[in-house]
Amino acid sequence: MDTLAPATFDVARIRQDFPILSQPQARGRPLVFLDSGASAQKPRVVIDAMVRCMETAYANVHRGAYRLSELATNSYEAAREATARFINAVDAREIVFTRNSTEAMNLVAHGWGRGVMKPGQAVLISELEHHANIVPWQMLRDDKGNELRVCRITDSGELDLDDLEMKLADGKVGLVAIAHMSNVLGTVTPVERIVAMAHAHGAKVLLDGSQAAVHRRVDVQAIGCDFYCFTGHKLYGPTGIGVLWGKPEHLDRMPPMLGGGDMISYVTFEKSEWAPVPAKFEAGTPAIVEAVGLHAAIDYVTAIGMPAIEAHERSLVDHATSTLATVPGLTLLGAAQDRGGVFAFALDAAHPHDLATLLDRAGIAVRAGRHCAEPLHTRFGLENGTTRASFGLYTTREEIDILAQALTEAREFFR
């Protein structure tokens, strides 16, 4: 039986908050936006907050001794405090603003990987990772010689925890870097168990929460990880702003990745001394307006309630699992017991790019390709990639039905 979202979750009313969803597409068709996993649409409150900042309270932050600068600084730091509350950080100073999750993971690769990890230590990732959680560790390996280990996943798309344990057993892994939720399989990884296993073998843990933070409550204290990152544009906020949370003792040990203004306490031609965390990692003028937008997005989803959003998504996942299974010739990628609203699939009669183009003519926006996860597609023998439908809090069951019907018709067309 489908899990029903709470009666208080009114998806029809929520959709009214997103101006773009009322815009007609080609041939006057309504927009069926099923690519939120790449970047989510923006509610009016986020748009308005950013415009209001630019119109009434914009200046550079941390620098000006005048009222507008103080207002902008207060807004920027209020966004940091809201982000800390959102993931249950102990202190707002544990929050570092970056451009996106990719930059956050590169910051850990640079600061922790190059600055703290010892020669001979390994980094352990998995087969389900996004390129942003693969390439920085390859660069570290090639630069510093640290081994890169890869944990297998099962045919159902879940982490092989026995393989994870085996690769941790020799105590040489310094850092485990794992996605909290796969952007292709929808698999939600057992992060508390992963952290416990890693810590038992002396390894720290970085979690890529780019997908998970959108769909369910994240509590970094309960999870127990050492680093956690996510990005604003998937959380109904703007592009250009991401988040790295880290335990203070780890952030203190890490050298900065970028040098310049505002990340120093003093500078001479002979030497520089870094500012305290988080300023140490935020060189130059930051994403001021984007931070305001992120704050508005966090307030928006918090007001709706992450438990309600998660329940709505579970209902969508149940419906999509059963509905898409009825489409002839369709193969769903992954069958994890705990999965979020991401469905990658292959249709036997069509190349993913051709299929996405045909769906677009019907007003349905999906992603096609390998979704920045080429090794994962290779693991499943899908070198051409897949088509992916990913849900947001504004997604409806009717949109899933429209997708299923369009896929059935597309198969007949391509055949």
CATH class held by domain 47-302: alpha beta
Domain parsing of the chain, residue ranges: 11-30+305-414, 47-302
DSSP output for 361-375: HTTEE-EEE-TT-HH
Work out whether strand 364-365 and strand 32-33 pair parallel, antiparallel, or are unpaired: parallel
* pLDDT recorded at residue 349: 81
Cβ–Cβ < 8 Å for 144, 119 = yes
Per-residue pLDDT reduced to its tens digit, 130-173: 999 999 999 999 999 999 999 999 999 999 999 999 999 999 99
> What amino acid is encoded at 229 in this protein?
C
Q: How far is CA 125 from CA 178, 188, 224, 357, 387, in A?
A: 6, 15, 18, 33, 24
Contact 218, 298 (CB under 8 A): no
Q: How many CA atoms lie within 13 A of 213 on its CB side?
A: 32
Give the up-direction half-sphere exposure of residue 177: CA atoms within 13 A in the CB hemisphere: 31
Q: What is the pTM of this model?
A: 0.96
User: Domain 11-30+305-414 belongs to what architecture?
Assistant: Alpha-Beta Complex (3.90)
Condensed to tens digits (0 to 9), the pLDDT of residues 269-306 reads: 999 999 999 999 999 999 999 999 999 999 999 999 99
Catalytic center residues: 372
The C-alpha R_g of the chain, in whole angstroms, comes to 22
Token code pair at residue 79: 């966004």
Sequential pLDDT tens for the chain (415 residues): 334 444 479 999 999 999 999 987 767 788 999 999 999 999 999 999 999 999 999 999 998 899 999 999 999 999 999 999 999 999 999 999 999 999 999 999 999 999 999 999 999 999 999 999 999 999 999 999 999 999 999 999 999 999 999 999 999 999 999 999 999 999 999 999 999 999 999 999 999 999 999 999 999 999 999 999 999 999 999 999 999 999 999 999 999 999 999 999 999 999 999 999 999 999 999 999 999 999 999 999 999 999 999 999 999 999 999 999 999 999 999 999 999 999 999 999 899 999 999 999 989 999 999 999 999 999 999 999 999 999 999 999 999 999 999 999 998 888 7
Peptide bond into 286 cis (omega under 30): no
Q: What is the pLDDT of residue 159?
A: 98
Contact 21, 33 (CB under 8 A): yes
291-303 CB burial, b ≥16 within 10 A, e <16: bbbbbbbbbbbee
Contact 345, 324 (CB under 8 A): yes
Q: Quick one: how far is CA 350 from the chain centroid?
A: 29
Extract the tokens encoding 279. Answer: 């300023």
Ramachandran class of 123: left when φ > 0, alpha when ψ lies in -120 to 50, beta otherwise: beta
CB 151 within 8 A of CB 164: yes
pLDDT above 70 covers a percentage of the chain that reads 98
> Do the Cβ atoms of 389 and 334 come closer than 8 Å?
no
The first and second tokens of residue 390, run together, are 């990913």
Q: Which runs of E-coded beta strand occur in 109-183?
A: 122-126, 147-151, 173-179
> Quick one: pLDDT at residue 29?
80
Query: For residues 87 and 245, is the Cβ–Cβ distance under 8 A?
Result: yes
d(C-alpha 123, C-alpha 73), whole Å: 37
- DSSP string of 79-93, one letter each residue: HHHHHHHHTT-S-GG
Q: Is 25 exposed, middle or buried (0-12, 13-18, 19+ CB in 10 A)?
A: middle
- At 26 the pLDDT is 65
Residue 239 CA, distance from chain mean position: 12
How far CA 226 is from CA of 108, 219, 300, in Å, comes to 11, 12, 27
| End-to-end CA, the chain | 34
* Rounded CA separation 123/46 (Å): 37
